[in-house]
A and B are shown apart, each in its own frame.
Chain A
Amino acid sequence: MSDKSHDPNQMTGAAMIVRALIDHGVTDIFGYPGGAVLPIYDEIFQQSEVQHILVRHEQGAGHAAEGYARSTGKPGVALVTSGPGATNMVTPLTDALMDSIPLVCISGQVPTHLIGNDAFQECDTVGITRPCTKHNWLVRDVNDLAKVLHEAFYVATTGRPGPVLVDVPKDVQFATGTYHPPRKSDVHRSYAPRVKGDATQIRKAVSLLAGAKRPVIYSGGGVINSGPEATKLLRELVEVTGFPITSTLMGLGAYPASGKNWLGMLGMHGTYEANMTMHDCDVMLCVGARFDDRITGRVDAFSPNSKKIHIDIDPSSINKNIRVDVPIIGDCGNVLGDILQVFKAEAKKPDIKSWWQQIAQWRARNSLYYKKSNDIILPQHAIQSLFEATRGKDTYITTEVGQHQMWAAQFFGFEEPHRWMTSGGLGTMGYGLPAAVGVQVAHPDSLVIDIAGDASVQMTMQEMSTAVQYELPIKIFILNNQYMGMVRQWQQLLHGNRLSHSYSEALPDFVKLAEAYGAVGLQVHKPADLDGAIKEMISVKRPVLFDCRVAALENCFPMIPSGKAHNEMLLPEQANDEATAKAFAGGKALV
């Protein structure tokens, strides 16, 4: 019998998990202990290479890991216990799946022999998380654990990134087996994402681009996921072609907001010029976006006269909502590189001067107009002031979900990718605060601000305690209008102004709440005090809850009303009662 006691690859399942984290370059994880993960926590206690951030609720761990991943391009890691620990992860896993964020979740499970027995804190974790992960695994044998962990990291970070979950029963954590470092054969042979685009399709795309009279580039989160090279190439393509560019909510920052070809965000609350350009274009190049319903408006009236090129690494994104003419399956960076190469060799910059003139006319409509006030802070003004105050600083922005999120997207200019963390696909209220925790862990010296709403922020408020514990100086900038603003906006526009349960009754005193957590609370009511208060918030090197009292009934415009096309936007100056009633026709009594 060979003596295995000195083999360094012989270890317990719990030790393997920590070892695999180290082997994958993980330095920070977010988690919450419990019965079914105690062996792993015991291993974490006895080492110093992986820092564990203790959250206050597992959902916080998931969103923090998402923020970490989104701001670094590395996978985020969460560790949770069985049962409620795992079910609390369902929201962040789904959020990460919708927004293609690489997340590795390790969950504890009851011992193998108790699975299926309705044991204490047992749930069917792989069953529950199957539809909200890219893939998941239940590991029943400690000798499979290393392979599964390595595969989990590979699957999460390659192809279209996404969340994965590895469920590890407690007896497997205790059992001793053989560990091996990551190797190629750890991955399913059936998993091979396509990276390189088809050459014929790329030629077709280039010839469409070269012949375009009214082109537009529409980019999405896929460009950011693809990495810094894709961002560089996208910018180069805009430069070489001279085309206008717009982007989805997830894609902000890939092209700089200060760039001369930038049209602003498109979609339901996008700019008039971006949506009109999309509607009237003759060639559309979609890079790493998925024609989501918030982008397209009414699909049968979506950009009716254009040839559409779609670059996506996920074949299931192609022709899902909108039929495209030239699909190119591959990694955005890779395909953009090939397109650029062919374009530079064979085509020249098309003359689109008259198209730019047209765009200038749309731009002149000034669709983000709002009326400033000296008495009351307009939420748009608050975002603009925040943006001005952070210019030139090393800033990361997260958001919750609702009106404040749309205003942030409209009024905060992003110059670089990975600086904007928001819940796009799932629209998770409560995302921003824990995401900011994750971002600050990854970037301890940067300025991390969660642009929040008074309703959203209360969903994961408990993570303030995490921020205080780890001295993470996150700034929670609450646009407090005492409403679930977006819900109210829809009720005003579509449900006869019956404001059913959208008023934030019994709001806490956010300043006192901050102080109760050991953080700093600031409150501002008057426009004249805003800049000073923001300055103070930035200079404080502690977590801050900033209660910015804004105009309560301000609504978010411009807007594509439901069932309407891009060229039927409702602009702010038109958003009076009559026009609104007409736009949301159907004989509804409106505001």
Chain B
Amino acid sequence: MNQPASAYFIEERHDPNETHTLAVLVQNEPGVLARVIGLFSGRGYNIESLTVSETEAQKHLSRITIVTTGTPMVIAQIKHQLDRMIPVYQVVDMTQTRRSIERELAMVKVRGQGEHRVESLRLADAFRARVIDATTESFVFEITGNTDKINQFIDLMRPLGLVEVSRTGVAAIGRGPEGM
């Protein structure tokens, strides 16, 4: 390995990346989201998707769902780094537990006439997307599902006059009777 002239040991790591969905339960206080996001940007971790909302208003608890990629060592680091933040109650790796459901909601605007318009409606039906707004030349579809399904639907809409997409990002929950 030819090392460039540096005080640091520069090397590339070649471990394969994995995608993980993390559910992070936090105290809902000012700045908490900035802390979490700052951790990701500051330490060079990826955010593929981020969803956050207060889930228990009385206890001031919010739930952040993060989809991230990294080597197994990096994923473990991310979990530990999140867990040691003061306002973080719990970090659960929804991918590792292998018993979780992930859903995303998207609103997809499609503009077209004639056969394209009919085809988009037919596909929407097949994907169980609902029409939530319509004009004589456009539809807005609402679709929920996992990320792959939504990506597939959007790809299909592209040649049919896709105008705009708004997505919520992933929300995840464990299967079975137990809570987090």
Contact = CB atoms under 8 A, between A and B. Distances in A.
B83 A315 contact: yes
Given A131-B38, A191-B86, A490-B7, A318 B80 contact: yes
B84 A584 contact: no
A155 B10 CA distance: 35
Interface stretch (A200-208, A296-304, A400-408): A296-304
Nearest to A491: B5
Interface centre among B4, B7, B30, by most chain A C-beta atoms within 10 angstroms, is B7
Contacts, number: 77
B20 to A, nearest CB: 16
A138 B89 CA distance: 21
A320 B87 CA distance: 22
B9 A298 contact: yes
Interface centre among A127, A314, A316, by most chain B C-beta atoms within 10 angstroms, is A316
Interface string B69-81: 0000100110011
Contacts of B30: 138
A496 to B, nearest CB: 9
B3 interface: yes
Contacts of A300: 11
A494 interface: yes
Interface string A269-300: 00000000000000000000000010011111
Nearest to B82: A316
B6 A562 contact: yes
B6 A494 contact: yes
Interface residues of B, number: 31
A446 to B, nearest CB: 34
Chain B, interface SS category: loop
Contacts of A134: 86
Contacts of B10: 562-563
Contacts of B8: 293, 562
Contacts of A126: 31
B9 A299 contact: yes
A106 to B, nearest CB: 18
A190 B31 contact: no
A70 to B, nearest CB: 22
Given A316-B81, A562-B6, A190 B27 contact: yes
Contacts of A584: 5
Interface of B: 1-11, 26-27, 30-31, 34-35, 38, 42, 73, 76-77, 80-81, 83-89
Given A130-B38, A293-B9, A299-B9, 19 more contacts: A126-B31, A127-B31, A130-B31, A130-B35, A131-B42, A190-B27, A190-B89, A191-B86, A293-B8, A314-B84, A316-B77, A319-B76, A494-B7, A562-B3, A562-B5, A562-B8, A563-B3, A563-B11, A586-B5
